[in-house]
Amino acid sequence: MAIFRETVPRGVVAKLYEINWSIVLLLALLGLTGTAMLYSVADGAWDPWASRHVIRFAAGIALMLAVAMFPPRFWMGLAYPVYLAALVLLVGVELFGHTVGGAQRWLEIGPVRMQPSEVMKIALVLALARFYHDLDPDKVNGPVGLLIPAVLIALPAALILKQPDLGTALLVIVTGGVIVFMAGLSWKIIAAGAGAAAVGLPLFLAYGLEVYQRRRIMTFLNPEEDPMGAGYHILQSKIALGSGGLTGKGYMQGTQSHLNFLPEKQTDFIFTMLGEEFGFVGGIAVLAVYALVLANVVAIATVCKSIFLRLVVIGVGTTFALYVLINAGMVMGLLPVVGVPLPLISYGGTVMLTVLIGFGLILGAHIHRNAEPPRGTGLFG
C-alpha cells in the first residue's frame, strides 16, 4: 500500500501561518455586516437577533479554523459516515420534525434546534468528492460513475423537497450537479440530461410541487395580481429597494423595514433592508465582498493537487455562490421567493455554522494543497 505523505506544514502554528487570511477577513466583514443589520432590524437593540448572531459567528470562526487544521485523509474518512448521519437526520425530520410556518424542517435535540438539510449540503460535497477521488477516471462516464452520484444526490433532495423546502432541494441538486460536471462528466451526457430536464420540467411544475410552491412561481411572474396576498413579500421588497436610491436613507432610517411593511427582514429579506438603508452603493459593496470571497475560493481550487480537495472546494464554493445568487435574485424579483438566506448576514444558527465549517474545509484545502492521498486512504479507508 502506498504511504501517504503530505508536503505541507505539520505544526498548528505553521498551518495557521499558511491559512488564507484574506478569506477570513472577508468573512469577518460579512459577519459584522450581518450583526449591524440585525441590530438595525431590532430598532437599535442587541436582542433578540444581533447578540446571538455575533456569538454564533465568533464560535463559528473558531470552529472554522479548527476544521482547517485536519489533513485531507481525516475528512475523506468521515465523508461517507457524515453523509449517512445527515441522511438519518433528514429521515428523522420526516418522522419527528418540528414544524414552523407550515414547514417541517427542524429537529429538536434537547435545547438545540437544528436544520439537517443544511448539514446535508456539506455532507453531500464530502461524499461526492470522496467517491470521485476513489473512482478510476475512465469510469466517470460509466454506469457506476453516473448511477451512484445520482442516488447520493436524489435521496437527500427528495427528503428535503418533502419537508417542503424547494429552495434547499434545488441548491443540493445544483451543487451535486456541478461536482459531477467538474469530475469529468461528458458533454454528450450533459446534453442528454438537459434534454430530459426540458421534457420533465413541465411535469415537475404540474405535479411535483406543493400548491403554495406553484403559487410562488405564479406570483414571481405577476406579483401585482395579488398585492395583499401572495405578491405582498416581493412587492414590498421592490418598494424598499427602490426607495433606497443610490446611497440609501441612512443606517436605521429605513421606513419600509422599520414600519414593518417588509416581512422576514431578519432572514430572507435582510438584503432588501440593507439596500433601503445604504442604497445601491451599499448593496453593490456587499455583493463585491461576496465576489472577492468566491475569487479566493476559485484560486484555491486551481492549486489543489488532490481531486478530493479540488471537488470539496468547488462544492462548498458553489453552495455559497448559490446562497448569494438566489437570495439576491429573490429579493429583487428576478427569482421566485424560495426561502434561501443571505450567508453570514441573515439570522440563522445552523446555516451560519455549516457555511463556516465549509470554509474550514476550504482553508484546510489551501493549507494541504500539495497533499495527494492515493485512492482508498482515509480515517476509515
User: pLDDT band for position 371 (50/70/90)?
Assistant: confident
User: pLDDT band for position 85 (50/70/90)?
Assistant: very high
Is the Cβ–Cβ distance between 226 and 219 less than 8 Å? yes
Q: Indicate whether 221 pLDDT > 70.
A: no
Cross-strand pairs, 106? 98
State the Cα–Cα distance between residues 128 and 97, nearest whole angstrom. Answer: 27
CB burial string 146-171: b at 16+ within 10 A, e below: beebeebbebbbebbbebbbbbbbbb
Q: Indicate whether 198 pLDDT > 90.
A: no
Other CB atoms within a 10 A radius of the CB of residue 315 amount to: 27
Q: What is the pLDDT of residues 323-354, one digit of tens each?
A: 999 999 988 888 887 778 999 999 988 889 99
Query: What is the CA angle 177-178-181, rounded to 5?
Result: 85
Secondary structure of the chain in HEC code, one letter for each residue: CCCCCCCCCCCHHHHHHHCCHHHHHHHHHHHHHHHHHHHHHCCCCCCCCHHHHHHHHHHHHHHHHHHHCCCHHHHHHHHHHHHHHHHHHHHHHHHHCEEECCEEEEEEECCEEECHHHHHHHHHHHHHHHHHHHCCHHHCCCHHHHHHHHHHHHHHHHHHHCCCCHHHHHHHHHHHHHHHHHCCCCHHHHHHHHHHHHHHHHHHHHHCCCHHHHHHHHHHHCHHHCCCCCCHHHHHHHHHHHHHCCCCCCCCCCHHHHCCCCCCCCCCCHHHHHHHHHHHHHHHHHHHHHHHHHHHHHHHHHHCCCHHHHHHHHHHHHHHHHHHHHHHHHHCCCCCCCCCCCCCCCCCHHHHHHHHHHHHHHHHHHHCCCCCCCCCCCCCC
Q: What is the pLDDT of residue 333?
A: 82
* Average pLDDT for 214-243: 70
Q: What is the pLDDT of residue 209?
A: 65
User: pLDDT band for position 380 (50/70/90)?
Assistant: very low
Which comes out higher in pLDDT, residue 222 or 43? 43
Q: What is the pLDDT of residue 368?
A: 92
Which comes out higher in pLDDT, residue 66 or 226? 66
Q: Indicate whether 381 pLDDT > 70.
A: no
State the Cα–Cα distance between residues 148 and 164, nearest whole angstrom. Answer: 25
Domain extent listing, the chain: 79-342
* Average pLDDT for 315-329: 94
- Residue 339: all three cell numbers together: 426561502
State the Cα–Cα distance between residues 241 and 341, nearest whole angstrom. Answer: 17
Q: Indicate whether 247 pLDDT > 50.
A: yes
- In Å, the largest CA–CA distance within the chain is 67
